[in-house]
Amino acid sequence: MKSLVMIRLDLKVKKSEEILKQAISVLNKGGIIIYPTETCYGVGVRADLKEAVTKVLEYKRRPEGKAVSIAVTGPDMADRYVDLNQTALDIYSRFLPGPITVISSSKHKLDKRLEAEDGTLGVRVPKYDLLLDLIKALDAPITATSANSAGKRTPYSIDILLSDLSQSQRDSIALIIDAGELPHNPPSSVIDTTKQELKILRRGSFSVGNRILTEEIHSDILMQKLGARIMSSYKSLLETRPMIVMFNADLGAGKTQFIKGMAQELGVTQIVNSPTFIIMKEYEFPLRQDKGRLIHLDAWRLESVQELKKLKLEQYFKPKHVIAVEWAGMARDYLAQISSQKDLIRLYIEIEYLDLEKRKVAIYEE
């Protein structure tokens, strides 16, 4: 294909219908355009043309495997290319069009090189009428990535952009829509909607074994005291048996307070704080002449039983060990299965939110 000659259209001079017409013609031929957005200048090709995508990846000089977002007109068009879950739909309706890139699971309808390694795709609905008109008329998404190459200045004006580009990059551009110097708005914020689905591990209901206690708790301190009380009635058994305590409760219900109480009773001197980020924390406590260990696990960030298996919890199922698992929910079956052979003390604790101050705690023993 003979290389196109770069055309620079000034929005202040040319009529927008005329610009649209030219842009559509370039894009349909697989050409590269530079366009203004509410953040900075972007580089676009039709995202559904493989050769055009190759061109834009070459232009960006980014290693393959780095995702490139697409721009669409709204949720209806996005739905053709990604799975929109409730979180995504809420974001589209509340915040878009606007400077936000929404990450969703890809339907793999477009070139895979646009997707991230985990099969997700970023989608933008730019708050820029000319661009939305263009995508609508095209009836196809265009790539939405800033027009600079990796590591170069954010392009708020065409002159800055062009001075940072190499000759071959400049040559690959077929059309520039120049809207002058853009307001220096920061790049779009990224919202990942794929990692917060309540996947299998987090929720589920217990109701197993014998209920040994139901109590209403009115403060954090009382929740700690309850944890200590429960621990004290099992502590003497730890010499010969391990113990696992599984929690099923909402955010902010008081799980950590309960576990703090358990730890205090066991004689843990360190501060027991949230293991959410590193998933699992270990604490030592004195037990007669020996040492015991408290394992504090938070399954919140785990997405599959497979991930839980990798933690090899079985190694802790021995006397003098207490394992407390937050967000045990549906991991219960797995945990019950791997602990079934052993002479384990098994407690299930459900904490229910009644009101701002009040929680209902139910404890089951199996």
Interacting residues toward other proteins by CB under 8 A? 63-66, 87, 90-91, 94-95, 100, 103, 112, 115, 117-119, 186, 189-196, 220, 251-252, 256, 270-271, 273-274, 276-283, 303-304, 306-307, 310-312, 356
Q: Could you tell me the smallest distance in angstroms from the CB atom of residue 121 to other proteins?
A: 12
**Which pair of tokens denotes residue 333?**
């079956």
Q: Could you tell me the smallest distance in angstroms from the CB atom of residue 107 to other proteins?
A: 14
Q: Could you tell me the smallest distance in angstroms from the CB atom of residue 284 to other proteins?
A: 8
DSSP 64-96: TTS--EEE-SSHHHHTTTEE--HHHHHHHHHH-
CA distance 131 to 149: 21
For other proteins, the closer of residues 159 and 282 by Cβ is 282
For other proteins, the closer of residues 352 and 365 by Cβ is 352
Q: Which residues pair with 360 in a beta bridge?
A: 216, 352
For other proteins, the closer of residues 23 and 114 by Cβ is 114
Is 42:144 a contact under the CB 8 Å cutoff? yes
Q: What angle do CA 27, 18, 37 make, to 5 degrees?
A: 60
Q: Could you tell me the smallest distance in angstroms from the CB atom of residue 188 to other proteins?
A: 9
End-to-end CA distance of the chain: 73
Q: Could you tell me the smallest distance in angstroms from the CB atom of residue 297 to other proteins?
A: 10
CA distance 40 to 57: 18
Name the amino acid, one letter, at 356: L
For other proteins, the closer of residues 255 and 346 by Cβ is 255
Q: Which residues pair with 192 in a beta bridge?
A: 103
Q: Could you tell me the smallest distance in angstroms from the CB atom of residue 33 to other proteins?
A: 27
CA distance 286 to 219: 28
CA distance 129 to 16: 10
For other proteins, the closer of residues 43 and 253 by Cβ is 253
Q: Could you tell me the smallest distance in angstroms from the CB atom of residue 267 to other proteins?
A: 16
For other proteins, the closer of residues 1 and 277 by Cβ is 277
For other proteins, the closer of residues 206 and 283 by Cβ is 283
Strands 69-71 and 42-44: unpaired
Q: Could you tell me the smallest distance in angstroms from the CB atom of residue 276 to other proteins?
A: 5
CA distance 313 to 116: 32
For other proteins, the closer of residues 59 and 92 by Cβ is 92
Q: Could you tell me the smallest distance in angstroms from the CB atom of residue 95 to other proteins?
A: 6
CA distance 261 to 257: 6
CA distance 145 to 147: 6
Name the amino acid, one letter, at 288: R
CA distance 152 to 147: 10
Q: Could you tell me the smallest distance in angstroms from the CB atom of residue 5 to other proteins?
A: 34
For other proteins, the closer of residues 66 and 360 by Cβ is 66
CA distance 24 to 135: 9
Closest CA to 38 of 118, 99, 108, 80: 99
**Diameter over CA atoms, the chain:** 87
For other proteins, the closer of residues 169 and 256 by Cβ is 256
